[in-house]
Amino acid sequence: MANAVRGLTTGMLIVAQAASRGSGLAYNGILTKASPGIGRPSARLESIVCGREYEVFGSEDFTQGNPATPCLRLDSFGKWRFRWAMGIGQHIISVNVLHAINQNPRPSMVIKANPAIGINADIETFAPSGTGWVTINSPTFTTTAVGVTWVELRNNLVTNVGFSPCYFDHIVKS
């Protein structure tokens, strides 16, 4: 999944030390939690339903990607979340997304509230309409302290597993 987190070359995001590729940025198969082995998990796939954790089907996908393969695929309703380190200042986070059936609700990205760094409310941005790759751009937000926040990539359409896959690639903070 190195493409899915391109732009994070500073090591601020550690997805899974036990990853199948050993890069710290990749996984294969069904992932419900990934942890670097210390403290809280840095990334996890989980259901959006009732805030409980269920198995959400997703994987690294080698058939899609933008600008290139591989990418992250969420096969059903759910989210992939990870912590991202933030410095002081203004930020915009963007991610490329493909959801070919073009139905509502569209895929979204949520930057979770963390008042300790100046993000006082969740920031959710939905993908624009389209059957090809589109870009979700968060509004500009300002952090007032150094810290981390959770970022969630969501497949919001409730269907049977595999009927409505959602692909995410090239997540960048500027």
Angle at CA of residue 52, ends 50 and 55, nearest 5° = 120
Closest C-alpha to 144, from 99, 89, 73: 89
CATH architecture assigned to 3-173: Sandwich (2.60)
- pLDDT band at residue 45 under the 50/70/90 scheme: low
Residue 35 clears pLDDT 80, i.e. is over it: no
Question: Considering all CA atoms of the chain, what is the largest pairwise distance in Å, rounded to the nearest integer?
Answer: 42
Taking residues 110-120, what's their average pLDDT?
97
